[in-house]
Structure 1
Amino acid sequence: MHGPASLGWLLVALCAATGAYCVLRMRSGVEEQRRAAGDEAVMGFGMAAMAVPAAVFTPPSWTWAGYAALFGAVGLRALWTARTGAHHLHHAVGALAMVYVAVAMTVSAGPGAGHAHGGSGLPPVTGVFLLYFTGYVLLSGPRLVPLPGMVGAAATAPVPWGDRPELARACRLSMGIAMVAMLLPM
C-alpha cells in the first residue's frame, strides 16, 4: 500500500482484528450470520494483507493478480447470495473495490511503475468507490449509538458474542473506514 507506514500498520491491525472477530462470529447459531461473518472475515484478512506497508514488504507482482482472483470469487459469491438479502450487495461492492485496488496495484507494480490511473486527478472509479464507502461510513456510524429507550432493554437477555448485531455493525463500519483509507492514496 502506498502512503505512510504508520497508516499501513494501523490498517493492518484494524482489518486483522476485524477479521479475527468475524471468525468468532462464525460460531453463531444462525446460518445467515455465519455466512456473512465468513465473507467479512475473508475481507478483513485480505484487506490486512494488502495494507502491509510497501516499505516493509514488497510482494511479488503476481500476488496482486491472486488478490484480484480471490476478491473476484468473493464478489461473485456475494452476488449469488444477494438473492436472499440486500446486505450481500454491500459485500459484493466491497469485493469489487478490492479487485479494483488489486488491479491498480498490479498496474503500478508493472514496468511503468507510475500511478495506477496514469494521469492527474482522481480516477472516476476511485471516486465512485470513495463516495459509496464514505456514504456507508457516515450512515452506519450513527446506528452504533444506542437509543435512550434501548439501553435497558438490551441488558435483559444475554446475547452470545456471535449474535451481537452492534458488534457486527462495528466490524462493517471499521472495514468501511479502512476501505476509504485504502482508496484515498490511489
Structure 2
Amino acid sequence: MHAPASPGWLLVALCAATGAYCLLRMRSPVQEQRRAAGGEAVMGFGMAAMAVPAAAFTPPAWTWPVYAVVFGAVALRALWSARTSAHHLHHLVGSAAMVYMSLTMAASPGPHEHMHGGAGIPLLTGALLLYFAGYVLRSGARLVPAAATGQGPSTGGPTGGPPGWGDRPELARACRLSMGMAMVAMLLTL
C-alpha cells in the first residue's frame, strides 16, 4: 500500500507467515476450523501481495481490479457462511476492506501520490480503522492466558488429547490478531 520499504517488507513477512500458518490450520479435523482457516489464508496471502513496497515492485494497473474481484468473491463466500457462524461476519468486513483498498488503489493517480490529499481521512477508511483497531484490542485481550482470566485449562484437541497445530485456539487468535494489526497498518498507509 505504498509504505516505506523496511516496514513494508515486515508487513509482507507478517502477512505471508500468517497465511502459511492458516494453511497448516486447514489440516484440522474440524470442518468449521478448516473453513475459517481457508478464508484467513486467502486474506493473509492477499494482504502480503498488496503490502509489497512500491519501490520494489509497482504492480500493473490491472492488478487492483483483479484483487477487488477476488476479495469480492471471498466476501460473498463469507456472507454465505455468516448464516451459520458469526465469526464469518469478521471475514466479510475484512474482505470488504480489501475490496475497498483495491478500488482505492485502482483509482489512485500514481504509486507515490496520496489519493486523499489534505482532506483528511475519508469516512469509510476511518470506520474501518476504528473497527480493526477495536478488533485488535479485543483479540489481544483474548490472548491473556486462561489462568489469568480464571477460565481454566483448555480441553485439548477433538479427540481429547493434546491439540494439533490446526486446533490450537491461542495460535488461531494470534493469527487473527496479526492480520488485524496488518489491516490497521495497511489502512493507515492508504
| Fold agreement, TM-score > 0.5 | yes
What TM-score do the two structures reach when normalised by structure 1?
0.93
2-structure distance, mates of 1:60, 1:119? 26
| Mapped contact 2:132–2:184 kept (Cα < 8 A) | yes
Question: Offset of 1:151 from its aligned partner?
Answer: 6.7
1:73 alignment partner in structure 2: 73
Q: Which string of whole-angstrom CA distances, capped at 9 and with x for unpartnered residues, describes residues 123-144 of structure 1?
A: 1110000000000001110110
Structure 1 residues 97-150: Cα deviation after superposition (integer angstroms, max 9, x where no partner): 00011011101146x984333651111110000000000001110110113255
Q: Quote the Cα distance in structure 1 between the aligned partners of 2:2 and 2:119.
A: 16
* Maintained 8 Å contact 2:146/2:153: no
Q: Residue 146 of structure 2 aligns with which residue?
A: 147
Give the match for residue 135 of structure 1.
134
Deviation (angstroms), 1:153: 5.5
- Deviation of 1:34 (Å): 0.3
User: How does 1:1-186 map onto structure 2 within 5 Å?
Assistant: 1-109=1-109, 114-117=113-116, 120-148=119-147, 149=150, 157-186=161-190
What is the deviation of 1:55? 0.4
How many residues align structurally? 185
Q: Quick one: percent identity of the two aligned structures?
A: 71
Amino acid of the structure 2 residue aligned with 1:108 = S
Question: Does the C-alpha gap of structure 1 residues 152 and 139 become closer, same or farther in structure 2, counting only changes over 3 Å?
Answer: closer
1:35-87 deviation line (CA, Å, top 9, x unaligned): 00000000000000000000000010000000000000000100000000100
- Runs of 4+ aligned structure 1 residues displaced above 6 Å come to none
Q: 1:185 deviation in Å?
A: 1.6
If the length of structure 2 is used for normalisation, what is the TM-score? 0.91
Is the 2:8–2:51 contact (alpha carbons within 8 Å) kept by the matching residues of 1? yes
Q: Tell me if the contact between 1:104 and 1:117 (Cα under 8 Å) persists in the aligned partners.
A: no
